[in-house]
Amino acid sequence: MGRSEILQRIQQAVKNADPPGLPSGQPAFPVYTDPVAQFRKELEAVDGHFYDGRRKGRLPDILSEILAQCRTEEIHWEAHELFERHGIQAQLAQPKAFDAGRLAFSRHAGHRVEFPIRIDSKASSRQELASVRLSAGSAAWGIAETGTVVQQVQAGTGRLFAVLPPCHLVFLSRANLLMNHSEFFGTERMGGQGSATTLVTGPSRTADIEKQLVLGVHGPKRCFVILTS
């Protein structure tokens, strides 16, 4: 059956049919007794990696493990604000490390992270960014229903920071973990303050070619989320 014949049959079928009415309200969205457990379940179901960093003194070990998994000794940081927001002890070796046009990073020999983290910087370029293996940023929100993090591009960081490196680490505050998508889309939270808002659920994936699942085509191959207080 050709395309034209299929379209003709559809047109004939709906020609005299009454259009369905518009929905009168939203569907019921899930609510969870343990949204952290639900977020972890959904994230890990799509090959994401979840760490609970709320216990005191746990963050250095978590970061060390992530560095080892990504086979790098450097973390490239998105913004200065995330250190205070997520309780990460850090010292700027250069006062203007996070100025526009700079790429802020910390180096950890042997994949071992110790606090306070020393932050250095270098001139930023597309070539420098292309060599980054692990970038780290802060999620504006998390959605337990699907294990999704909401990322908002901040001034000076650019949109490549979260998608070009093969590994991306997101810090998510427990206070910003929402139950479901209705809590995000149905409120002023969706607007945000950045130049772009992106909803990310696990590593980048596609099965466009011969239905073979491939990770990392349109973004990071590995996605890490650390939950903080």
Spans of all domains in the chain: 32-228
User: What does the pLDDT read at residue 132?
Assistant: 92
Nearest residue to 202 via CA among 227, 160, 153, 167: 167
Residue 225 in contact with residue 139, Cβ under 8 Å? yes
Query: 211 falls in which pLDDT band (50, 70, 90)?
Result: low
Separation of alpha carbons 66 and 70, rounded Å = 6
Average pLDDT, the chain: 87
Note the pLDDT tens digit of each residue in 36-90. Answer: 999 999 999 999 999 999 998 999 999 999 999 999 999 999 888 899 999 999 9
Number of other CB atoms surrounding residue 92 within 10 Å? 16
Query: 20 falls in which pLDDT band (50, 70, 90)?
Result: confident
Whether the pLDDT of residue 196 is over 70: the answer is yes
Query: 15 falls in which pLDDT band (50, 70, 90)?
Result: confident
Q: Which of 43-47, 92-96, 98-102 has the highest mean pLDDT?
A: 43-47
Q: What is the CATH code for 32-228?
A: 3.40.50.10420
Separation of alpha carbons 183 and 43, rounded Å = 18
User: What does the pLDDT read at residue 157?
Assistant: 57
Structure tokens of 127? 């070539």
Instruction: Report pTM.
Output: 0.84
Query: Radius of gyration (Cα) for the chain, nearest Å?
Result: 21
Sheet holding 197-200, edge to edge: 177-178, 141-143, 148-152, 197-200
User: What does the pLDDT read at residue 66?
Assistant: 98
Whether the pLDDT of residue 109 is over 80: the answer is yes
- Rounded to 5°, the CA angle 42-161-111 comes to 75
Q: What are phi and psi of 117, to 5 degrees?
A: -80, 130
Find the mean pLDDT for residues 154-182: 85
Find the mean pLDDT for residues 101-118: 94
Q: What are phi and psi of 2, to 5 degrees?
A: -80, 170
User: What does the pLDDT read at residue 90?
Assistant: 95
Higher-pLDDT residue of 203 and 63 is 63
Whether the pLDDT of residue 215 is over 70: the answer is no
Comparing 32-46, 65-79, 100-114, 181-195, the range with the smallest average pLDDT is 181-195
% of the chain surpassing 90 pLDDT: 52
DSSP string, 59-101: HHHHHHHHHHHHT-SEEEES-THHHHHTT--EEESSTTTTSTT
User: What does the pLDDT read at residue 219?
Assistant: 66
Whether the pLDDT of residue 195 is over 80: the answer is no
% of the chain surpassing 70 pLDDT: 86
Whether the pLDDT of residue 218 is over 80: the answer is no
Would you put residue 155 in left (φ > 0), alpha (ψ -120 to 50) or beta?
beta
